[in-house]
Amino acid sequence: MALTVLINEAAGSDPDTFADKTAYVRSGSVNLQNTIDQIATASFTIIDETGAATSAPITGQPVKITDGGSTVYFWGTIDSLKIQVRAGNDAVFYDCDCTDYSKVLERHLVFNTYTGLTIFTLVKKIIDDFVNLPDDEGVTYTIPAEDDSPEIEEIRFNYVTAKAALDRLTLLGSGTDVYYWYIDSARALQFIERPTSATATALTDDGSSIALANTLRVSQTAQQYRNVQYISNAKYYTIELTDSWKGDGVQTTFPTRYPIGKDTSITVGGATKTIGEAGITTANFQYEVGKANIWTGTPTTAVGDGVNIVLKYKGLYPTTATDSDTAQIAARKVIEGGSGRYERMDNASDMLGSDTSDSFMAGLLSKNGALNTVIEYDTDTAGLTSGTLQATTLARVDIDGSAISGADYLIESVSARDTGTGRLRYSVRTVSGDDPAQWEDYFLELKNATRTTQFDNTVTLALTEALGTDTFDFNDSESEAVRLMSTDPYVIGDANVGYSEVM
């Protein structure tokens, strides 16, 4: 069987019918890239020899690349085209760059606050409420029959892409709960735990190695390594607060001392009234999480002159927190001398509550708290898939004082290129743990975000801004992680907001 390129030219009316365009594909131009937690890509060049556009591809057309049989190497859509017209003949060259169906997750924004849901349930909410609404994109996700994923205390997505939201959820797993995701050829989202068993094909450095001659490379990197984790802009809950006002027969909006968090209740003239989040309730009073005011519901009605209004709630305050891996600090100190500390700061503006923030810090330390060994090689062996484990024995490689012997390395990426013979040659990258480089795209998106979360008239925090020392001394739960807060819990002035790059 040989490499085959199929294009659907009438997906809107006939989504299952593909035309074979292999005869028009330039020899050696097919390239594939598949990296865990990233959008898989493919590229190739179509040549229309007559210039009559009879084979001209169109941006958005579905593409399938196979071995000519049942094996599908890639399934997605044409994301962009570059068209070249050359002198001396009638041929037109179409350079096609394609993305798999994961790309749809970058076309939808997630904006909601979720409380007390498991990670798998959150994934389902994101797909159902933001990806497949208002029009069904055809992406499906099924919660496993046994949902053993951690429960997230509270998290707020503030107009980030669905892909970024899923990436964030993978960071909230730690220890044995470590996740990755991809969308398969049936448009079904797979959000699953890291594998625990090795693939059938092992890697060795002896004469029977699947690695092609002179292509096996091993490196160790401290990129993104950390053993001390700081987070900024996390939102923690205050103790229960009580705010009160007197109606004047005119006012319908009432400012609160702190941005509203949760556990709200209200009385008017001593009588209990209903209160809930705007847009999802018809309560007597409404609010938005993170906004420092409440208002009378629909219909908007002023509270009578002299009538007491009493609101009880837990407010939100932004803070900075830290956690550390003492074993890793000690290990680096033995090798390097000095303090052994590698400190990193990341933004946590979408985290609500200390439990969620602690999980986030633990996830970052879990995924980036070791010096990863990276193995790269080329091979003609098919069937290696990113997101699986490969048993690895490299007797001639000394890493951390010993050879690599039977260790399971995570296949982080597999790229492939057409050798010009209709066959693929593969470049494989494996890592000893979770490769920190895979998170860079997500953090770059946060860094470049322009959207802000507004808490009141004096405090506006961008996703990439770091709160200074002017934070508030409340703690909603006990934790081993350390909060870094000021000693004045009751003064709300202008927050000291500075800029900090997301590392």
Look up residue 264 and give its amino acid.
T
Q: What is the pLDDT of residues 225-261, one digit of tens each?
A: 899 999 998 889 999 999 999 999 999 999 999 999 9
Concatenate the DSSP letters of all residues of 481-497 into one string: SEEE--S-TT------E
* Alpha-carbon distances of 315 from 41, 114, 255, 256, 311, rounded to whole Å: 44, 16, 12, 9, 11
Q: What is the pLDDT of residue 54?
A: 62
pLDDT at 479 over 80: no
* CB distance 116 to 153 below 8 Å: yes
Q: Which position has the higher pLDDT, 498 or 327?
A: 327
The yes-or-no verdict on residue 361 having pLDDT over 80 is yes
Residue pair 393/402 in contact by the 8 Å Cβ criterion: no
Tokens standing for residue 343: 């400190």
479 or 59, higher pLDDT: 59
Residue in this structure with the two tokens 């892409």, named with its chain if needed = 161
pLDDT at 407 over 80: yes
295 φ/ψ sector (left φ>0, alpha ψ -120 to 50, else beta): beta
73 vs 96: CA distance, rounded Å? 16
Q: How confident is the model at residue 84 (pLDDT cuts 50, 70, 90)?
A: very high
Kind and range of the H or E element at 381?
none
Quote the CA–CA distance of 487 and 471 in Å, as a whole number: 8
Q: Which pLDDT band holds residue 94 (cuts at 50, 70, 90)? A: very high
CA torsion sign, 395 to 399 to 402 to 404? negative
* DSSP run (H or E) holding 442: helix 440-448
The residue whose two tokens read 């096996």 is 216
Angle at Cα 127 formed by Cα 412 and Cα 233, nearest 5°?
A: 75
Q: For 32-73, how does the pLDDT look when each residue is reduced to its tens digit (9 = 90+)?
A: 999 887 899 999 999 988 776 566 899 999 999 999 888 889
Task: Give the residue among 322, 314, 347, 323 at the shortest CA–CA distance from 233.
Answer: 347
Q: Which residue has the higher pLDDT, 395 or 171?
A: 395
Amino acid 174: pLDDT: 56
Give one word for 130, left, alpha or beta, with left for phi > 0 and alpha for psi -120 to 50. alpha
Q: What percent of the chain is modeled with pLDDT above 70? A: 82
The C-alpha torsion from 360 through 503 and 108 to 287, rounded to 10°, is 60
From 74-78, 90-94, 194-198, the region with the lowest mean pLDDT: 194-198
pTM over 0.75: no
For 361, the token pair is: 């810090």
> Among residues 474, 472, 475, 466, which one has the least CA distance to residue 496?
466
Instruction: Tell me the pLDDT of the chain averaged across its residues.
Output: 82
**Residue 363 pLDDT level (bands cut at 50, 70, 90):** confident
